[in-house]
Structure 1
């Protein structure tokens, strides 16, 4: 929730500084904000783990291989990773090219971009608040609904070019992406064996973070050569198709 709150407040402050002050002042303030974090990290003391021993020592590549093999043989974990991949690449990819979308689709400036980014942050905050009080038994239904809705939202971007409608869609898309991210992370941590939890969660992190970058690249290439209209349709349909295949009987899969 704290992280997503910063996604809502940050673009508003940045938009104001860039538009009404200057780029130099904005960069100076951003740089100054890192100083408290640097001080905290320098003063941070980690608990010693010298007494903790592992039953079996693995090499780096052996760890990765073991994590991949465990994931491959677990239908539940495999499907959860596929869902977060779809959400990150297809659902969240659009959020990575908001600067271009603000200019091309809505003929806006830095203020328009700030509004779009703030809408994304607001959707993520709302998702975090709802999930914080959500029963764990509702995570899988929420996850299935969110990934399907992501595909529908991509298709809906072709319905109107109004800025107000775009803000609603961006907030909803960010809401769904956050639900997918938090739900898959929570379910993986619950169902993965303790000795493989770190390795599988590293795969989740790589897919979640790297997927957004891949999605942004994919959206950028498609919009450049086929336009936004066809890109939204193709990505929306692809998201719905893969999502449907991933969530079929998800709750009944043997982990």
Structure 2
């Protein structure tokens, strides 16, 4: 194996990170199976692109109210224990959806309510999970570990939807929900096997003061502010791609659940390529411009996807969108974490999570409304145009400010 290959996978030499990595790979594959099946179920029950947007909005809206609370909890308590509890409740959520669907008693309001419940879970899970990764490797391997986590996310994004498409066509949506509920056992087992490395922090200030102090820390740096604003705008305009995917697959391409699986997996394939390139990087320097180029490329790829009209063109456009999307969000994550100390990492990761989960519900609702009235291609084209313009403005601004950037924290 070449030195470059070893360097790309170096965080996997750490036992604790290895356990986490493979447990997450199983669990996230199940998660993507459920997300694909859930979108198809809503569209099958209602035929409404607007309700697809409502379902996605319900799953992400709790981060608006609880994201900062989740970040403060991640900085105060044992992150490993937080993750064990969130995975347990996510298992219950998936099993409930599986039972309702298997019995033929599921209605769209059940799906939306359970998506909302999962959103509450994720408001605590995501900041803890993002910060927990950095506890499993030494500081010099943090960027590599974050990029490898992106690889596992996108490996699961490739495998999960493709399997879901096959299973939905043969066995129905409930099979995906059952498999997802079982997949949580893998990540819970891996978390139990990881030796705790960080005790709960001793914090004497009130929760409100703790949150306020974290906000002051995160937003005092102009670079962090700029990155968070870019990610929020990109999520608002670009992430409705996933909410509208069932409507595009069935309403535009007439490709059914298998086509939906292939399109979602294609996004994951492209994102996997970006994650591998990020894993090969030796440090976070230069990522600012890379993130800006990613946002602009995401917008252009969305425009190509929206106007593809047939599967042979939609698949490569989806791959390009996945590559650019992962460059933007994973690159932004690495750069942000390089500018944080561990005491503030949970709250900073809450803001990172909120930068896309807070705006994504509004984007999904707007895209669903536009798709119902003007067509799914139009809705995605508008989002792509906004993404490309936002990335261009970010690039222009940060190219001019290049000499003022602050170097990453090394300790």
- TM (norm. structure 2) is 0.55
Aligned residue runs from structure 1 range 124-139, under 5 A: 124-135=271-282, 136-139=284-287
Q: Tell me, yes or no, if the aligned pair for 1:92 and 1:174 is still in contact at 8 Å.
A: no
Question: Residue 180 of structure 1: CA displacement?
Answer: 0.9
1:68-107: CA deviation from partner (whole Å, max 9, x where unpaired): 3334432211110011112222222212321111111111
What's 2:71 paired with?
Answer: none
Task: Give the alignment partner of residue 150 of structure 1, picking from 286, 289, 298.
Answer: 298
In the alignment, does 2:330 pair up with 1:190?
A: no
What's 1:58 paired with?
Answer: 205
Q: Tell me, yes or no, if the aligned pair for 2:274 and 2:323 is still in contact at 8 Å.
A: yes
Q: Tell me, yes or no, if the aligned pair for 1:158 and 1:229 is still in contact at 8 Å.
A: yes
Q: 1:218 and 1:180 mapped to 2: Cα distance? A: 22
Question: Residue 147 of structure 1: CA displacement?
Answer: 0.8
Distance 1:35 1:163, change over 3 A: same
Task: Give the alignment partner of residue 85 of structure 1, picking from 216, 225, 232.
Answer: 232
- TM (norm. structure 1) is 0.85
Question: Residue 23 of structure 1: CA displacement?
Answer: 3.8
In the alignment, does 2:354 pair up with 1:206?
A: yes
Task: Give the alignment partner of residue 49 of structure 1, picking from 180, 199, 206.
Answer: 199
Distance 1:160 1:43, change over 3 A: closer
What's 1:231 paired with?
Answer: 379
Tell me which moved more, 228-237 or 105-114: 228-237
Q: 1:200 and 1:193 mapped to 2: Cα distance? A: 10
Question: Residue 43 of structure 1: CA displacement?
Answer: 5.9
In the alignment, does 2:259 pair up with 1:109?
A: no
What's 1:167 paired with?
Answer: 315
What's 1:4 paired with?
Answer: 154
Question: Residue 179 of structure 1: CA displacement?
Answer: 0.9
Q: 2:268 and 2:360 mapped to 1: Cα distance? A: 15
Distance 1:41 1:187, change over 3 A: closer
Q: 2:169 and 2:372 mapped to 1: Cα distance? A: 27
Aligned residues: 252
Distance 1:159 1:21, change over 3 A: closer
Tell me which moved more, 147-156 or 2-11: 147-156
Q: Tell me, yes or no, if the aligned pair for 1:152 and 1:236 is still in contact at 8 Å.
A: yes
Task: Give the alignment partner of residue 392 of structure 2, picking from 232, 235, 244.
Answer: 244
Q: 1:108 and 1:217 mapped to 2: Cα distance? A: 24
What's 2:179 paired with?
Answer: 29
Task: Give the alignment partner of residue 366 of structure 2, picking from 198, 218, 238.
Answer: 218
Q: 1:233 and 1:160 mapped to 2: Cα distance? A: 11
Question: Residue 220 of structure 1: CA displacement?
Answer: 1.2
Question: Residue 161 of structure 1: CA displacement?
Answer: 0.4
Q: 1:214 and 1:46 mapped to 2: Cα distance? A: 38
Distance 1:197 1:26, change over 3 A: closer
Q: Which has the higher contact order (CA 8 A, sep 6+)?
A: 1
Task: Give the alignment partner of residue 70 of structure 1, picking from 207, 213, 217.
Answer: 217
What's 1:123 paired with?
Answer: 270
Question: Residue 193 of structure 1: CA displacement?
Answer: 5.1
Q: Tell me, yes or no, if the aligned pair for 2:247 and 2:376 is still in contact at 8 Å.
A: no
